[in-house]
Structure 1
Amino acid sequence: MNILVTGATGNFGGYALKVLQDLVPEDNLYGLARTEEKGAKLKEAGIKVRIGDYTDSASLRKAFEGIDRLLFVSSTTDGDRQAQHRDVVEAAKAAGVSYIAYTSFGKATESTSPLAADHRFTEQLIEESGIAHTFLRNNWYLENEAAFLAAGAKGGKFIYAGGNGQAGWALRREYAEVAARAVSGKFDFPEILELGGQLRTYEDLGAALRGATGKDLEVISADEATAAKNLVENAGVPQNVAELLVSFQQIVKSGALAVQPDDFEKYLGKPLTPMVEAIKEVLG
């Protein structure tokens, strides 16, 4: 039973492959890379490499030959993501892939968030393909808040622009471990899994940051410009990047991530990292 992980050179795919190395024989494990050069580190780690690009359907069809189970890590929002995802699903069907674990978005079929549209489209493609699947509807990585946490730890003020919005923050590696367990075929997974940690607000996150740093930090709800300014001054983030990161908090503020999660720990096979410890890990 051959397993292939797309996005294998990225953080999520890399974490998933490390977990899979402990779950399945390495002879059956493949990672998708865009070029031989990008796949070199995978080979060094004992992973077989297939070359393929989401923008090149022919390369995907070749890369998926002989693959039984696919961990389909959604592409970045650059380019025509729907066209890229269509090519992945069509290549998987042509290759006879029997199962797809796909990294989706919370409540993808009903969410009004702009982020949900491409995932809703992809879920429908996979359903129509007839391929058995699990939609891993991932909530929000704690790493998305890394700059805000770092700025708070350094400057003494955790300043956010996410209002009273809630998110199910957890570490990226924990989401990736669930994905690895799903595609391994060794555990029972449902067709749809709403994955997320306990729902928390930014005020909750600020309180956990106090615990992680041992400092009596101020936790401040502010406008976008103020939050971005704090990132520039205390996290060393360029202005344009700061504005982008602050815009992500508007997704939380909108309520799109206030999705009651399924039993993350059941499918992870162990407890989630406590938030204070998770923040320490993100801060390094």
Structure 2
Amino acid sequence: MKDIIIGFIMGIVEGLTEFAPVSSTGHLILVGHLIGFEGTNTAKTFEIVIQLGSILAVAVVFWKRILGLIGIGPDAKSHTGKKHQLSLIHILIGILPFMIGGVLFHHFIKEVLFSSQTVVIGLIAGGILMILAEKMKKNHTNTMELDKMSYRQAFIMGIFQCLALWPGFSRSGSTISAGLISGLNHKTASEFTFIMALPIMAAATGKDLLDSWSYLSVQDLPLFITGFITAFVVALLAIKFFLQLINKVKLIPFAIYRFILAIAFWIFIL
């Protein structure tokens, strides 16, 4: 029963925070510390498994768009009969900088950057970036939908996404901020962020899962299954809610929340 409760709690945390600009890493570390679920190989492998639940949620929410990118499904063509302008090239341009950085600095990130101190720095720095992005965003935003995105905007978001290699910075916070600076509105930047995250998270999580495969055991199945299902359901609801909310509340409330989370780290962990 204890494993099921832990799986449920951590699954909720993962589902709520993975795609919001608040750092899922920071939340998982803090909550794991508060409930005594941290440091073990089981805990580390569990975090990988629940991320798979969040990835599946993105695939479900954007399944028409994803199939459309490869030329099949109901979204392969617009109502005018023309192909959607958003293409796999946009996605490739967006993910390449992050993937190159991840490959080059994977060991350094895992061994050096995953600490409570670096997460606090990432939370604060990411919050400052989000506030600056709101101040710097173009007053006359032309790109109101995904199919009007340029390669340049995809590249800028891809470059800023590299900041998320620093734990606590938040992939969503970095890329949505970049989208605003490059001329996207909040919702469009968020949608591209989620779609772009799918291949990155699938590749990174798949690699980590293979590396941690030996730590999986039958006795941990209730923990992993509960966490996976919970993360999937909560992420599914959270993504839809966030896309409706972000154009209304903007990024600054999330930035302020990040500062509060950094203080919580300071009190409970550091």
More strand by share: 1
Structure showing greater relative contact order (alpha-carbon pairs closer than 8 Å, 6 or more residues apart): 2
Greater gyration radius: 1
Normalised TM-score (structure 2) = 0.26
TM-score when normalising by structure 1 = 0.25
